[in-house]
A and B are shown apart, each in its own frame.
Chain A
């Protein structure tokens, strides 16, 4: 037992030595997880798209229309950058990407309102990004509703202030965005991406160190034959340095990055640690399995980098998992990141307790077991190949010895 333990420790020590002497691996497992969240945060930290540049084409030239333009300008979503004389002028601005939306107020606007007829306003939005649409459509809708109520008062108003208030809005309503209270983009995308960064950098690091081992020791996957004889010990020994380092990285994401970019942080430390352990283990063992595909150090970049974006998409964080085809959903179940991201978002952004993330927790342990088993089989197979080679070598020697005798 103690022998076993000592062997594992010395394998871990040897792995650590290898890692420390490979700048490539160090970049991936030390520099990248520390720095990439900062790059990502720098891009998204402004959180919301406000004041989408909008042109207003006012054909009615009336005071109500001007009032409308002012109210629209005052909203968070839109900013009126130009009052145009006709549609052509506004379209030209749209083509030059100086405005992303056009509000067209018809010539009959004021007349219709005064004559107690419905009137129509046209809103044209450039669909280059969904956030232009979201910002302008919401702002314009709110402005229209607000104006509608002011106009309705003339018909419905019964006199007193209170009665007018009730007539404006017989049943009032409140909207509360939960967990990400300003509907920020960083607060939405950063938490899952942090987990994806952990997984991807682990895959890259383990892959590259395997590539290095393969290059140095040719077709073997391990070095010191005396030490590297039992698959279970090799896998555990290999994982220890990564696990220890990534536990620190996981805490760095949970604390520093969250604090630095002001991301939602309702998370319970203990719940997080309980869930991050199987997540890291599943990632590491998956890394050990996939690293068998890596024959040269640089191969790992080729294989793993381009998979990051598809992995983010199939997880169901961006596009609801319930609405993606079953095939891709099952593919996503093979990836630790799918469960890791959902669990992290729930714990950290939504303050979920352990019971709430139990399904993810269980799935991560199952993945850990499965990937460990596959890694075990792969290593056993490799070792038996090497043993065969050595035996043939020795048998040859025996024959020579016999000849000598």
Chain B
């Protein structure tokens, strides 16, 4: 076959594929509507970045000047919103069970009088840990305000004893901690999650639609036509068949990068083109994986689609952007390497988030390249699949 011949065949097969898309609106749904809607969904749902004014309840049994100043300090903090006061802890807990508040701050009776007479009273706070994110925010602020009240008592004692304010500060807070969350100083959850979940959704869509469109040929029993169209050359066939999808997904990845880094201004400490190229490499890697899976389960369209779905869905949990892989079981730290999203995530952290040299993640780039090249291993097998296998439900 001459190069010209090959290109013509690829063009014809791609054309045939586009014709298939046009007859089935479902392709439009899962290749365009789901990815693009997801991009808008995740970025707008977490549009605040960090939830502010989370509902908390207060049980103030003390009701003195000091307890009220403590309450004011707490209420003035960014993330805590004391929405309700309850006469007893029991009622506050019931409100929590109804889902009205995420945390309870409890100042028992006698707190002030004990504090004034140096009898060390204790206050307590509770968060509803079944909702992880709000409770983490509230816990942080409740710790802080509880600590501040002690510091302010000690500082008053110091100044009352005739010390300067500077000395009093040094006495009550000798060491000050300056925290620098690198690359995401606002601790913006949209940046933490969207940068990885969105490629995850895209990879899932790519895996499923690739195995669907390949399997469809066997299901409709058109695989032999296709085989003849591609001149019995699986490489040409697969290239032609996946070309429209590839271009579409490359476009969607480009759109995602433009939207995240150029419109929403998520931190991108590397060259913009790097993220685009990594996205495209991920598209090829996911497609390579799906082609490989279908070769392992030839003709079994449903089964290979299920395997691809499993890879796509599990990768969202196992990749380590929400729950670090470091904390998982030992064997999972090896298993995780078969998921393309894991490699994308590590490259993203290295590149866009931290702006380090790509040399540090060469292994992950190599892994994605290997996924991309997986079809080469099974090209010969595809010859056999085209001729010998038929659709199995």
A22, A40, A48, A178 — most chain B CB neighbours (10 Å):
A178
Q: Using Cβ atoms and an 8 Å threshold, which residues of chain B touch A274?
A: none
Q: Does A384 contact B (CB under 8 A)?
A: no
> Would you call B34 and A127 a contact (CB within 8 A)?
no
In chain A between 332 and 364, which residues have their CB closer than 8 angstroms to a CB of chain B?
342, 345-346, 349-353, 356
Q: Given that A125-B182, A301-B212 are known contacts, is A350 also in contact with B360, CB under 8 Å in the complex?
A: no
Q: Which residue of A lies closest to B128 (CB)?
A: A178
Q: Does B139 contact A (CB under 8 A)?
A: yes
Stretch of B12-20, B202-210, B233-241, B273-281 with 4 or more beta carbons under 8 angstroms from chain A: B202-210
> Would you call A175 and B178 a contact (CB within 8 A)?
no
Q: Does A401 contact B (CB under 8 A)?
A: no
User: B31-43 toward A: CB 8 Å interface, digit per residue (1/0)?
Assistant: 0001001100110
Q: Does B187 contact A (CB under 8 A)?
A: yes
* Residue among B51, B94, B313 making CB contact with A305, cutoff 8 Å: B313
> How far apart sit A189 and B98, CA to CA, in the bound complex (Å)?
19
Q: How many contacting A-B pairs (Cβ < 8 A)? A: 336
User: B357-393 toward A: CB 8 Å interface, digit per residue (1/0)?
Assistant: 1001000000000000000000000000000000001
Q: Which residue of A lies closest to B197 (CB)?
A: A309
Closest CB in chain B relative to A392 CB, distance in Å:
27
> Would you call A174 and B332 a contact (CB within 8 A)?
no
Q: Does B87 contact A (CB under 8 A)?
A: no
Q: Using Cβ atoms and an 8 Å threshold, which residues of chain B touch A174?
A: 122-125
User: A31-68 toward B: CB 8 Å interface, digit per residue (1/0)?
Assistant: 00000000110111110111011000000000000000
Q: Does A3 contact B (CB under 8 A)?
A: no
> Would you call B219 and A296 a contact (CB within 8 A)?
yes
User: B106-136 toward A: CB 8 Å interface, digit per residue (1/0)?
Assistant: 0000010001001111111111111111111
Closest CB in chain A relative to B133 CB, distance in Å:
7
Q: Does A183 contact B (CB under 8 A)?
A: yes
Q: Does A308 contact B (CB under 8 A)?
A: yes
Q: Given that A170-B153, A297-B302, A303-B26 are known contacts, is A320 also in contact with B133, CB under 8 Å in the complex?
A: yes
Stretch of B247-255, B284-292, B348-356 with 4 or more beta carbons under 8 angstroms from chain A: B348-356
Q: Does A302 contact B (CB under 8 A)?
A: yes
User: B171-207 toward A: CB 8 Å interface, digit per residue (1/0)?
Assistant: 1111111111111100101011000010011001100
Q: Does A261 contact B (CB under 8 A)?
A: no
Closest CB in chain B relative to A32 CB, distance in Å:
9
In chain B between 306 and 345, which residues have their CB closer than 8 angstroms to a CB of chain A?
306, 309, 312-314, 316-318, 320-324, 326-329, 332, 345
> How far apart sit A134 and B189, CA to CA, in the bound complex (Å)?
13
Main SS of the interface on chain B? helix
Q: Does A389 contact B (CB under 8 A)?
A: no
Q: Does B229 contact A (CB under 8 A)?
A: no
Q: Does B230 contact A (CB under 8 A)?
A: no
> Would you call A313 and B45 a contact (CB within 8 A)?
yes
* Residue among B97, B180, B189, B197 making CB contact with A356, cutoff 8 Å: B97
> Would you call B154 and A320 a contact (CB within 8 A)?
no
* Residue among B26, B178, B189, B393 making CB contact with A299, cutoff 8 Å: B26
* 12 additional contacts (CB under 8 A) given A141-B143, A305-B208: A43-B323, A46-B327, A121-B178, A126-B183, A141-B177, A156-B171, A175-B124, A298-B212, A302-B212, A318-B132, A328-B41, A352-B97
Closest CB pairs A-B (n = 8): A180-B129, A155-B171, A173-B146, A127-B184, A170-B153, A49-B327, A172-B122, A174-B124
30 A-B residue contacts at CB 8 Å?
A42-B332, A43-B328, A97-B360, A122-B180, A128-B324, A138-B140, A144-B176, A148-B172, A148-B175, A166-B118, A171-B111, A171-B123, A172-B123, A177-B135, A185-B323, A189-B132, A264-B130, A295-B26, A301-B306, A301-B309, A303-B26, A306-B34, A306-B208, A309-B316, A320-B134, A323-B52, A325-B44, A325-B45, A349-B130, A353-B97
A contact residues vs B (CB 8 Å cutoff): 22-24, 27, 39-40, 42-46, 48-50, 52-53, 95-97, 112-113, 116-134, 137-138, 140-141, 144-145, 147-148, 151-152, 155-156, 163, 165-167, 169-181, 183, 185, 187-189, 191, 264, 293, 295-299, 301-303, 305-310, 313-314, 317-320, 322-325, 327-328, 342, 345-346, 349-353, 356
